[in-house]
Every structure is written in C-alpha cells, then in structure tokens.
Amino acid sequence: MRTSIAISLIVIAASIAGCDWMPGKPTEADKPVIQTTISNFHTLWTVHCSGCHGADGRWGPARPLNDPLYLSIASKDYVTEVIIKGVDHTLMPAFAMDEGGPMTNQQVKDVVDGMWEHWSNDAAVKELDLPKLAADLGKASRGKETFATYCGHCHGQDGNGGKAGSVVNPTFLALSSDQALRSAIICGRIDLGMPNYAGYSGGHLHSKRSGLPPLNDRQISDIVAWLASHRMEYPGQPYPDTTTLESSLSDASTNMNQ
C-alpha cells in the first residue's frame, strides 16, 4: 500500500515537473511586454519618436533632435513640455497618458534624459554666441530682405524653392509652427546640410554664407515673421463659396413649405 502511494506521488511530481518543458509552453522571452513598463531610451525612441524624428534622431521628416546645437538652446523642461502636451496645429501629438497619449510621465523623462545623455555635446557649441530658442515675431518687411540674402540661394529669393524646396508653400506652413520655423533657422538641418544661423553645416562654413555674419535674434525673428506672413487660413484647395448654396437650400425649403 505504502509502495503504491509512493509511486503515485512520484508520478504526480514528475507530471508537474514535466509541465516546465512540455512543447508549447512560453519562455520568459515570449511573454508580452507591458508597454508602460519600458524604460530603455532606444526602445522608447524607436516606438514613439523615430517615425517623425528619424531612427537615430536624424533623417526624419521632422526636426532632427540628435543635434548638439538644438539641445544647447532647448532646455529639458521645454522638450518635456512639448512631448507631454504636443504642439497645437502641427503633427506633433501629445504623448503623456494624462493628455490621451501612450506614455507615462516617467517614460517621457526617460526619453528626454536619453536625448541629452546620448546626443548633447557642449564642446561642439562652446564657441558660439547662441540665439534664444523662442522670441516674438519681428517685422516681415525686414525679414524679406534678410531671407533673400541668407536663404535665397537655396530656397529661392522669394522662398518658392531653388536647390532646396519651397518654404512658403501653404501646406508646409500649415504644418509648421512659428517655433519650428525659428528652430530651423537657428539650427539648420544637421542631417540635410542646411547651415545653421552662423552659416555652418557639418562643422564647415557653407560656401554661400562666406562673408556674412551670423544671423542675430532680431534677424531670425524677422525671417520667421516673413515666412509666417505667407500662411493661408485654408491651405490647399480653396473652400467653395457657400453663399449661393445656402441661398438655394433656403429657397427650396420655403417652396416645400408653401
């Protein structure tokens, strides 16, 4: 009797132990990852940021953030606020869960800290007299002349495009905030060869900026004002005049009620 019980217990124990190696049992690596528990910067960047800002912070349709100059003029608090709340009237959405996004506040902090840890470089900008990140709009009339002098070779004297694309295109301006325009003028595009406010691209003075002093805060504000003056209330296909349509509908309604 005791022998039978002992054998039964051994069989049961072996069966239970066998569950750990039976085919189909998920391994630890197979377990789904709860997205809100991810803290690795590169993973968070790939999932949430790379689609617009590029796989390594460059070569995306939006501002390259892997840029020591940008990280020198933008504070961590500013970038955190942008990620949490997004930017109105642009394609930058709010990412914080409190704002309807997918990220916890800690994950936002992990991304911001990771940007500065991996991409900032104070030594690369220590000799520069940096403009302010944000400022009020200047005068469009002055900005037109300054744009032609500093930017016209690549973007055309009127901004409609030269070697580089148009920067007065209504659709482009509808998707770009004034701050985005200012950031582009200050920092250029480190990945595309667009020079920064001081005329440098890739550490070298751009050939078409030779002899020109760096843009100052007022000039940058003036250029932004001139670019912004090209915005349309309804970019793209003009909205039709609905006055005639509304009048026709009103007349039709009156006739039906008579």
Percentage of the residues of the chain whose pLDDT score is greater than 70:
83
Range 201-208 average pLDDT: 89
Residues 164 and 105 in one domain: no
In a domain, 234, yes or no: no
Nearest to 101, CA basis, from 127, 82, 128: 82
Residue 97 sits in the same domain as residue 53 = yes
> Do 90 and 159 reside in the same domain of the chain?
no
* Residue 72 and residue 147 in one domain: no
Choose among 132, 118, 125: nearest CA to 42: 118
Tell me the average pLDDT across 221-242: 84
**Whether residue 156 is found in the same domain as residue 86:** no
218 and 166 share one domain: yes
- pLDDT greater at residue 175 or residue 185: 185
Does 233 reside within a domain? no
| pLDDT given for residue 92 in this prediction | 95
Task: Specify the pLDDT at position 32.
Answer: 84
Q: Which two tokens stand for residue 95?
A: 């990412």
- What are the tens digits of pLDDT across the range 10-52? 656 556 555 566 677 778 777 788 889 999 999 999 999 999 9
Query: Per DSSP, what are the bridge partners of residue 14?
Result: none
Which domain, by its residues, includes 212? 140-228
Residue 144 lies inside a defined structural domain of this protein: yes
Residues 115 and 149 occupy one common structural domain: no
pLDDT of 83 over the 90 cut: yes
Q: How many domains, the chain?
A: 2
CB atoms closer than 10 angstroms to residue 248: 10
**pLDDT for residue 203:** 85
Residues 100 and 171 in one domain: no
Q: Are residues 222 and 145 in the same domain?
A: yes
Residue 167 lies in a domain: yes
Reported as a pLDDT band with limits 50, 70 and 90, residue 6 is low
Question: How high is the pLDDT of residue 235?
Answer: 78
Which structure tokens are listed for 74?
């933008």
Strands 200-201 and 204-205: antiparallel
- The per-residue pLDDT for range 85-130, each reduced to its tens digit, is 999 888 999 999 999 999 999 999 999 999 999 999 998 888 889 9
CATH code for position 117: 1.10.760.10
Tell me: pLDDT of 173 over 90: yes
d(C-alpha 116, C-alpha 72), whole Å: 9
Does residue 40 sit in the same domain as residue 108? Answer: yes
Instruction: Indicate whether 62 and 106 sit together in one domain.
Output: yes
Query: Which amino acid is located at 133 in the chain?
Result: L
